[in-house]
Structure 1
Amino acid sequence: MAFTMVYETHSITVDNEIGIATGWLPGELSERGRELAAELGARRRKVDVVYASDLRRAVQTVEVAFGDGKEIRLDARLRECDYGIYNGRPVSEVAALRRRYIDEPWPGGQSYRQVVAETAGFLAEVREEWRGATVLVVAHSANRWALQNLLFGTPLEELVDAPFEWRPGWEYEVA
């Protein structure tokens, strides 16, 4: 039996607002990010469980959104791609290099293919535990690319080249 996955990226951070690619650095929600996180909680209050990346910006997003009102499970497999020595560098610099690191790890970090593998492991576990449920996942852009690759076969080359456009979530039926 399938489950419904509602996917949201973490809310807007100070780094997002100034054009920094945070990667595995913790990040901090901005004022606008806190407002959007509160809206997320109102929009998604009917989900059965919430999973989030264990990076601070995702944790802050779900804490502001739900407080103690939902079961929240943190999972390191939902972390953003580790850009290694490029964590904290300008988004423009990181974006220009993404294709190079689809299969080869970022120096001192990981590849996008490794993010896909982590996401696949997460999906397999959630699929077994939450059949028939609605699961909210709050993570990062690389994890959404991994989902698009795993569920629809969208090539990573296409995904990493596309500009990120924030929106209030994506819904997937996962068999």
Structure 2
Amino acid sequence: MAVEIVYETHSTTTDNEARIATGWLPGRLSALGRRQARELGERRRGDGLSAVFTSDLHRAVETAALAFPDGVPEVHRDVRLRECDYGEFNGRPAALVAAQRVRRIDDPFPGGQSYRQVLTSTAEFLRDLAAGRDGQRVLLIAHSANRWALECLLDGTPLEQLLADPPAWRPGWYFTLPTG
């Protein structure tokens, strides 16, 4: 069997609009982001989701709350779905962080973490998901680093390739997590 994963990035934040790399800062959805979150909920209703898992960072939690205001399906926060901690680069210009990506695959951001560490925490989350959600379809709402980790772990795309040339945003990615 397997777990079907539908992945969505949190909705647009005020930092996104200002071209700021939020990292482990909480972030707030912009007016556009609040609209996108409601649209995400409309898009995913009737999708057969058994649960929603989000990062514990505010912008992901806020996206889930607006998308599923009645709490159906059940929503779970998980620290292992956090964005990469940019350390001293949290809250700095996104272009500055983007220029550091490939260098930070194994070498952590000063005072933060590496993308390999995000890959490890995402893999730990997936192990628990496989053990507890076999045969189910779940939605993950998280960050770009987690999507890259999923693409690396589940599709086999090299992390170096994903960080050097990140795929364009789109509404939803689909992954299959083998179980057993």
TM above 0.5: yes
Secondary structure, counterpart of 2:101 in structure 1: helix
2:101 aligned to which of 98, 105, 109: 98
| Matched AA of 1:72 | V
RMSD: 0.9
Superposition map of 1:145-164 within 5 A:
145-163=148-166
More displaced stretch, 145-154 vs 4-13:
145-154
Which of residues 56, 59, 84 in structure 2 aligns to 1:57?
59
Are the equivalent residues in 2 in contact too, given 1:141–1:164 (CA < 8 A)? no
Give the Å deviation of 1:130.
Answer: 0.6
* Structure 2 SS opposite 1:34: helix
Q: What is the match of residue 13 of structure 1?
A: 13
2:76 pairs with 1:76: no
Which of 121, 136, 139 in structure 1 is aligned with 2:139?
136
SS in 2 for 1:114: helix
Q: 2-side partners of 1:107 and 1:164: how far apart?
A: 26
Counterparts of 1:161 and 1:76 in 2: how far apart (Å)?
Answer: 26
Q: Does 1:112 align with 2:106?
A: no
TM (norm. structure 2) is 0.95
Listed one character per residue, the Cα deviations across residues 72-91 of structure 1 (whole Å, up to 9, x for unaligned) are: 00000000000000000101
Q: Which amino acid aligns with 2:141?
A: V
Q: Which runs of 5+ in 1 are unaligned?
A: none
Gaps of 5+ in 2: none
Kept after mapping to 1: 8 A contact 2:87/2:113 = yes
> 4+ residue runs of structure 1 moved beyond 3 angstroms?
none
Give the structure 1 partner of residue 50 of structure 2: 48
The Cα shift of 1:169 comes to: 0.6
How many residue pairs align between the two structures? 175
Q: Residue in 1 aligned with 2:68?
A: 66
Q: Share of identical aligned residues, percent?
A: 58
Once the two structures are superposed, residues 125-156 of structure 1 have per-residue CA deviations (whole angstroms, 9 ceiling, x without a partner) of: 00111111101000000000001111122111
Counterpart residue identity of residue 153, structure 1: G
Amino acid paired to 1:160: L
Is the 2:15–2:27 Cα contact (8 Å) retained in structure 1?
A: yes
Q: The residue matched to 1:37 in structure 2 has which SS? A: helix
